[in-house]
Amino acid sequence: MRISRLLVVAAMLAVFASLPAARSPAADYKPEYKVSTVLGPPFPWGVAAEKWAELVAQRTDGRIVMKVYSGSQLVQGDQTKEFTAMRDGIIEMAVGSTINWSPQIKELNLFALPFLMPDHAAIDALTQGDVGRDLFAIIRQRGIEPLAWGENGFRQLSNSKREVRKPEDLQGLKIRVVGSPLFNDTFSALGANPTQMSWADAKPALATGAVDGQENPLTVYVNAKMETLGQTYVTLWNYVADPLIFAVNARVWNSFAPADQEIVRQAASEAGKLSIQLARDGDAEAEAELPTMGVRVTRPSAAELRAFVAATRPVFDTWAGRIGPDLVGRAESAVAASKP
């Protein structure tokens, strides 16, 4: 009797042990993980987020199903609430802009310091170097696991009123700006009249003429068809760029088996690279297309750019103090070292 019971237990153990190991943690997994973005496809941002979800679904044999919700719909259109919602677990994952998370992570304002990064090499010097690692460590301390960098792109100025080649041209123009107060300060310093609003509100505001202009990468300009919203003057000035961050709520992250964490991280890294490539190629294509769409493109000369730099320098200095002079100093050194 005793022996037969032991045999039964042994047989049961043998059956459990033979179950595929990778399947067991899936029991704790959610049927779906919500991924928040501001822009969906065909914007590069949305394409890259979908790619992340697709790679993870394939490589985990469907154990981890990620669904992308664009338009900041998981935070009722308020993109500046995305980081908090993800930290609180309302959203499990996001591909978020550094701008939209900077109200919670002040150090992410770094990328919005006017004229810190002149070119793509400068962005890479920050995100792919020590500065990027330090920023990820700061985010990690706040209950979010950052996995990879992506890119929204250099933000160029457009408006419906006139060519902007020098700060005086911005005088009195009503410009829609994004969520960080740093943008208000920059445009106020340039003599414009900045109005902060979400992306959800920006398009109607441009369409009705409630605002005269906005700033966004050219891929956003063309995919949102801003030339049809009266935005016929574009100034290419590379004044700031916003990287994207692929990230997961820490509790969700810790619930994944190590092998699955590796898959999710690797997929984010590949989708991040795709995001950077799509953003850069897309901006270059859009730049070539703009003149054929009846858009007047202005590219200030180096001397003309210096006037914008000088006018915004007090804003740079004030915000460098808030972001952390040490971090900003190291960022400036990394940018200087990236120059050919």
- Please give the residue ranges that form the binding site for ligand X2X (CB under 6 A): 38-39, 79, 97, 99-100, 152, 178, 199, 216, 220, 242
User: What sign has the CA pseudo-torsion 34, 39, 40, 41?
Assistant: negative
For residue 279, the minimal CB distance to ligand X2X (Å) is 11
The identity of residue 54, as a single letter, is: E
For residue 131, the minimal CB distance to ligand X2X (Å) is 20
CB-nearest residue to ligand X2X: 199
For residue 180, the minimal CB distance to ligand X2X (Å) is 9
For residue 17, the minimal CB distance to ligand X2X (Å) is 49
Q: Which two tokens stand for residue 2?
A: 């005793």
For residue 81, the minimal CB distance to ligand X2X (Å) is 12
Per-position b or e across 134-147, b if 16+ CB within 10 A of its CB: bbbebbeeeebbbb
- Judged by CB, which is closer to ligand X2X: 212, or 260? 212
Q: Which helix (H) or strand (E) holds 137?
A: helix 130-140
For residue 192, the minimal CB distance to ligand X2X (Å) is 16
Tell me how far apart the alpha carbons of residues 118 and 188 are, in angstroms, rounded to a whole number.
Answer: 22
CB within 8 A of 17, min separation 6: which ones?
A: none
Tell me how far apart the alpha carbons of residues 213 and 25 are, in angstroms, rounded to a whole number.
Answer: 50
- Judged by CB, which is closer to ligand X2X: 55, or 202? 202
For residue 200, the minimal CB distance to ligand X2X (Å) is 9
153: left (phi over 0), alpha (psi -120 to 50) or beta: left
- Judged by CB, which is closer to ligand X2X: 38, or 49? 38
- Judged by CB, which is closer to ligand X2X: 45, or 52? 45
Which runs of E-coded beta strand occur in 228-300? 233-249, 296-298
Tell me: cis bond preceding 42? Omega within 30 of 0 counts.
yes
CB within 8 A of 164, min separation 6: which ones?
A: 157, 170, 173, 233, 235, 298
- Judged by CB, which is closer to ligand X2X: 170, or 220? 220
**3-class SS at 42?**
coil
Phi, psi of 13 (to 5 degrees): -60, -40
For residue 214, the minimal CB distance to ligand X2X (Å) is 7
End-to-end CA distance of the chain: 82
